[in-house]
Amino acid sequence: EAGVAQSPRYKIIEKRQSVAFWCNPISGHATLYWYQQILGQGPKLLIQFQNNGVVDDSQLPKDRFSAERLKGVDSTLKIQPAKLEDSAVYLCASSLSPRGLYEKLFFGSGTQLSVL
């Protein structure tokens, strides 16, 4: 079974530029998550989708971050404009069911963003 795919693997930009990350979840997984992981910290949830609808974006800095999952499959996370503090690894995860007792998150390898 193919895992969660993310691209690019690495990205270096200057502050005030924009950047986009792409995620393709495991086939059939209804729920998709974007996490931000700053060096030395645990992943922090940015946004959660159930199919193509947002169920939690309370920690997404909406003045500069946006995300979409138009057809309920793959997703794009965008930062515009980027700040130095956005330097982090952006992890995408998916799960089969949002409420299942045995729900597990499956993570991609992440995109490492460096803002100079």
Partner 1 sequence: DAKTTQPPSMDCAEGRAANLPCNHSTISGNEYVYWYRQIHSQGPQYIIHGLKNNETNEMASLIITEDRKSSTLILPHATLRDTAVYYCIVRVASNTGNQFYFGTGTSLTVIP
Q: Backbone phi, then psi, for 84, in 5-degree steps?
A: -60, -35
Nearer to partner 1, 22 or 107 (CB): 107
What are the backbone dihedrals phi and psi of residue 27, each rounded to the nearest 5 degrees, phi first? -55, 130
Q: CB of 111: closest distance to partner 1 in angstroms?
A: 11
CA distance 44 to 56: 13
CB closer to partner 1 out of 55 and 116: 55
Return the SS3 of 5.
Answer: strand
Considering only 47, 91, 113, 115, the residue that binds partner 1 (CB under 8 A) is: 91
24 makes contact with partner 1 (CB under 8 A) = no
Cα atoms in the 13 Å half-sphere on the side-chain side of 94: 23
The residues that touch partner 1, with contacts defined as CB under 8 A, are 4, 31, 33, 35, 40-45, 48, 50, 55-56, 91, 93, 95, 98-99, 103-110
